[in-house]
Structure 1
Amino acid sequence: MGDYGQFCPIARSSELLAERWTPIIIRNLLNGCRTFSEIRQGAPGISTALLTQRLHTLERHGVLVRTTNGSGRGATYELTEMGRDLETVCDAMGRWGARWLELEPRHLDPAYVLWATTKLVDVEQIPPGTTAVRFSLRDQLSDNYWILLRRPQPELCTRGAGYDEDLVVRTDSMTLVDLHLRHTSYREALRTGRLELEGPVALTRRFSSWFRASPFAAAEPAERAGAHVMGVLASDPR
């Protein structure tokens, strides 16, 4: 871990939080992940060894607590008050990124996009029982993903879980991101063919109501903000 040798709180915070994958791990814990596998599913690409190391470091500094399961196998992780206080930090980073940083193709890892989709499910709106939804992504034709819609927590699977498919969604990662960030509407995505739903009408009609917008959907990209300011100045009679 780097040591800046400075008393500045930003420097001291950076020594712990500005390490690769650490903000992602904290984000996942804030999103309700509790087990090692749940945290890792929201961090495609991290190795088991590195995740273990990062969790140990956060535990040692009091950001989270690790509780061994009663069977002695596996453990759960939970943020302490110190860790939960990082929610405002993560929110600020998210708003800043949504405003100033452009999305690029390298940001569209399908496994993460579907994981994020699962986290945006509004469990108050989904049908009772379990609804199995298969996502067929045009930018990842070799893989299929299933979201099992159920209370209290939906689940993302990379292989069939023995359920009959209630709905098939054909789309691509960029469309899902645009829907999350409200850069397009479900109606528009369906009209243009970017999103196709295959299943009973009772489910296809309610599909859009099952997912909340990303908490960063309201962040206005800097270009739009600048254009808005220019428009206001141009219309100002003074």
Structure 2
Amino acid sequence: MSRAAEVFATRWTPVIVRNLLLGCRTFTELREHAPGISRQVLTERLRMLEHHALVERRPQGDGTVHYVPTPAGEALRPVCDALGMWGERWIELVPADVDAGSVLRLLAKSLLPADLPASRTVIRFELHGPHHRRYWLLLDTPCAEVCKHPPGDGGDDLVVTTTSEWLAKWLAGRTSVGASMKAGQVSFDGPLELTRRVADWTGRGAYDGPRLTVMAASAPRA
């Protein structure tokens, strides 16, 4: 355990491993989903993970580099899940701790096939706070994809306006949609049936294990 902790328990390493397991592949994606990490520290941690054969560095044809978990890296998934489940239960959330993109990826991972609408659906999340964020959740069985740009030209089927902190608390089951709407903490703009479907997603936590195929945040696509 002591030897393993020397690799996994260094500062930022569990977050980087979690992001790799959620589908982040480029240096930019990994840094975006680890708010506060410096370029130097991320570089050092990736080199350390590569040295211990937890990550493989794969140059791409466009000049970028993808970082891909090896079987040893994938084997850390239950470790990350256990740490996440403990944090969901025992650690109080504050706004500075919440990364909306990672929360939405965990939300997508927690969905069951029955949770998805019958047809392709796009949900836009408007996340207010010190740093405004906007993400799209594309639901298209069997995939749930978190996008940083509109996924196509079809428009949004539902718009959810709230904060990153509320989103994380809702996913962890610490608040409900009904009570939060009454308190003005969240609003939905779209069909009532779709709003009810989304409201039913709450309370499961993010670490019950993968359900759907979850795609990394992507560029626009047709």
Query: TM over 0.5: same fold?
Result: yes
- What range describes the TM-score normalised by the shorter chain of this pair? 0.7 to 0.9
* Alignment correspondent of 2:211: none
Is there any run of 5+ residues in structure 2 with no aligned partner, and where?
A: 209-222
Contact 1:115 1:156 in 2 (8 A): no
- Structure 1 residue runs of 5 or longer lacking an equivalent are 1-8, 218-238
Contact 1:63/1:82 (CA < 8 Å) preserved in 2? yes
Equivalent residue in structure 1 for 2:134, among 135, 145, 157: 145
Matched residues, number: 201
Q: Secondary structure at the match of 1:176?
A: helix
Matched residue type, 1:120: L
Per the normalisation by structure 1, the TM-score is 0.70
Which of 130, 133, 138 matches 2:124? Answer: 133
The one of the two structures with greater contact order (alpha-carbon pairs below 8 A, sep at least 6) is: 2
Please tell me whether residue 13 in structure 1 is matched to residue 23 in structure 2: no
How much does 1:210 deviate? 5.8
Tell me which residue corresponds to 1:25.
16
RMSD over aligned Cα, in angstroms?
2.9
Contact 1:179–1:213 (Cα < 8 Å) also in 2: no
TM-score where L is the length of structure 2: 0.74
> How big is the shift at 1:116?
1.1
- Give deviations 1:147-203, integer Å, cap 9, x for gaps: 14144341242x667753432222223321221111122233234432210123343
Secondary structure, counterpart of 1:34 in structure 2: coil
Could you say which structure has the higher strand fraction?
2
2: CA distance, partners of 1:212 / 1:98: 11
**Bigger-Rg structure (1/2):** 1
Matched residue of 2:93: which SS?
Answer: coil
Letter in 2 for 1:119: L
The question of whether the paired residues in 2 share the 8 Å contact of 1:117 and 1:211 is answered with: no
Residue 38 (structure 2) pairs with residue 47 (structure 1): yes
